[in-house]
Amino acid sequence: MTVAVDGPAPEQPQLLRSADTPLGRARVARGWSQEKAVRALVLLADAWGWQVASEASLKVQLSRWEHGGSRPNETYRVLLCSLYRATPKELGFDRAPQTAKGMRDRISTLESLVENLTAMLAAQGVQA
């Protein structure tokens, strides 16, 4: 079978891409660009009477959320779960956010562990 084409071939639509995160995969699985997802978020928020950021700001935020650079607050988590018809766990929202205090506590715990291991090795005559 042959196909005749008059004129130049049209440009192929841009392939949808996202970060390999649950949130990014949820958007791409629906065949949505970031622009379409942002517009849908705004429309959903408007329908509910909720105030959200501008579309331009949301596009930047959505990219950060998809790449793990930041986490959406509760308002946006609810909107995203409704928009993608997914649970917080399915979108990766069940992980605890890293806080400065949490990081300091982890560092302190690791420092104590290193000190204890060093002391145990020294007691056994092993130099660290």
Show the tokens assigned to 16: 């949808």
Predicted pLDDT of residue 86:
94
Predicted pLDDT of residue 19:
76
Rounded distance between C-alpha atoms, residue 63 and residue 16, angstroms: 13
Predicted pLDDT of residue 20:
83
Predicted pLDDT of residue 1:
63
Q: Distances from the Cα of 76 to the Cαs of 31, 80, 107, in angstroms?
A: 20, 6, 31
Q: What is the pTM of this model?
A: 0.64
Rounded distance between C-alpha atoms, residue 63 and residue 4, angstroms: 41
Predicted pLDDT of residue 85:
95
Predicted pLDDT of residue 62:
95
Place of tokens 């560092």: 107
Residue 81's pLDDT band, with cuts at 50, 70 and 90, is very high
pLDDT digits (tens, 9 = 90+) for 83-112: 999 999 999 988 665 677 777 877 888 888
Apex CA 32: angle with CA 31 and CA 37, to 5°?
Answer: 155
Rounded distance between C-alpha atoms, residue 56 and residue 110, angstroms: 41
Phi, psi (rounded to 5 degrees) for 52: -135, 175
Predicted pLDDT of residue 77:
95
Exposure string (b/e) for 53-80, b if CB count within 10 Å is 16 or more? beeeebbebbbebbeeeebbeeebbbbb
Show the tokens assigned to 19: 């970060």
pLDDT digits (tens, 9 = 90+) for 9-63: 666 556 677 778 899 999 999 989 999 999 999 999 999 999 999 999 999 999 9
| Chain CA centroid to CA 75, Å | 15
